[in-house]
Structure 1
Amino acid sequence: MGNAALIVIDMINTYDHDDAELLLESVRTVVPVVAGLLDRARRYGVPVIYVNDNFGEWRSHHGELLTKALDGPYGHLVEPLRPDDTSLFVVKARHSIFFETPLNYLLGQQGIDRLVLCGQVTEQCVLYSALDAHIRHLRVIVPRDAVAHIHADLADAALCMMERNMDARVCDSGDLWAG
């Protein structure tokens, strides 16, 4: 896969927000798939970078976000996706993983030119992140079974847009780091 990184978007989550009930059905399906991707990426030495919303908690850091999510009512959905000691973590405030974050600099420092985007929400943060990666001349891969959605029809349209308009490779997670 070359210089790839697995980017886990917004999966450290308390699900205490609008549309959470609609999202949770899809998240329950995606969690084991993302956990499998994490396992394979770590086994093959692929860097794992969590990029997570701070939910307006401007004084918090990634450890506090993780603890709050694990201690919440949906901690069982976060536990299988827990960052390990080798994981990198970037906190974001808005939809795109790049918007006013140090991610672009981090990727350059690590020599990463391909991003495997997984997480949530397909038709929001994943889509906007794919566009921002594309305009930065980064290759994008989106495993369709590793992204959660609120609205299935919008998620399908978003995946189609990523593939057609942003040259993203949309595939199944089993196609990545299979060995």
Structure 2
Amino acid sequence: MSRSALIVIDMLNTYSHPDAEILIPSVREALPRIVDLIERARDGAVPVIYVNDNFGEWRSHHGEIIDTTLSGPHSELVEPVLPDDESLFVVKARHSIFYETPLTYLLSQLDVGRVILCGQVTEQCVLYSALDAHIRHLSVTIPDDAVAHIHPDLAKASLQMMERNMGASIRKAADVEF
């Protein structure tokens, strides 16, 4: 029987992009539930995998990404979700957590058949990642209160698309079972 993994998408962020000021309030709202999911996954020995943009810094590794985000103006949004020593880390360059990354291989090595996606941005990286997980025959769960958005209307539509078109389970973070 396959297991679940919690995927934390793009939460290590400098918030120095054009949509940051629109995104930050949604991140603040989702943050406590993301932290809770991470803690529950860790307590249950569920793999926690951070998949994060590298901000175009191709020589960086996850430690440098963490240092960069912690030195940014919104480190209070990063500190609560920092990876621990058991967390896994995958660097991505584009929207999907799967595009040109080793994540598919990693999930197969961990015998993961279900991914729980949390993080940002609902109508971008979360949506495209859910689609790519679906076409890889992975079961997808999205805690709708643990994903942050830029545009509320697009986020709502994206969640509907994930549920209807990809068979994703949309639920509250408190209702997610690992």
TM-score under structure 1 length normalisation: 0.97
- Report the Cα distance in structure 2 between the residues aligned to 1:128 and 1:177, rounded to whole angstroms: 23
- Report the Cα distance in structure 2 between the residues aligned to 1:63 and 1:26, rounded to whole angstroms: 26
The Cα shift of 1:125 comes to: 0.2
Give the percent of matched residue pairs that are identical in Structure 1 and Structure 2: 66
- Report the Cα distance in structure 2 between the residues aligned to 1:130 and 1:28, rounded to whole angstroms: 22
The Cα shift of 1:177 comes to: 3.5
Moved over 6 A (4+): none
Partner of 2:131: 131
- Report the Cα distance in structure 2 between the residues aligned to 1:29 and 1:64, rounded to whole angstroms: 26
Alpha-carbon contact 2:5-2:47 (below 8 Å) kept: yes
Alpha-carbon contact 2:2-2:111 (below 8 Å) kept: no
User: Could you list the per-position Cα deviations for residues 59-85 of structure 1 after superposition, in whole angstroms to 9, with x for gaps in the alignment?
Assistant: 101000001111111111100000000
C-alpha RMSD over aligned residues = 1.2
How many correspondences in the alignment? 178
The unaligned stretches of length 5 or more in structure 1 are none
Answering whether residue 27 of structure 2 is matched by residue 27 of structure 1, we say yes
Partner of 2:11: 11
Alpha-carbon contact 1:9-1:118 (below 8 Å) kept: yes
- Report the Cα distance in structure 2 between the residues aligned to 1:74 and 1:2, rounded to whole angstroms: 37
- Report the Cα distance in structure 2 between the residues aligned to 1:176 and 1:136, rounded to whole angstroms: 21
- Report the Cα distance in structure 2 between the residues aligned to 1:2 and 1:95, rounded to whole angstroms: 26
Q: Which amino acid aligns with 2:8?
A: V
TM-score under structure 2 length normalisation: 0.98
Q: Which amino acid aligns with 1:123?
A: E
Q: Which amino acid aligns with 2:172?
A: D
Answering whether residue 30 of structure 2 is matched by residue 53 of structure 1, we say no
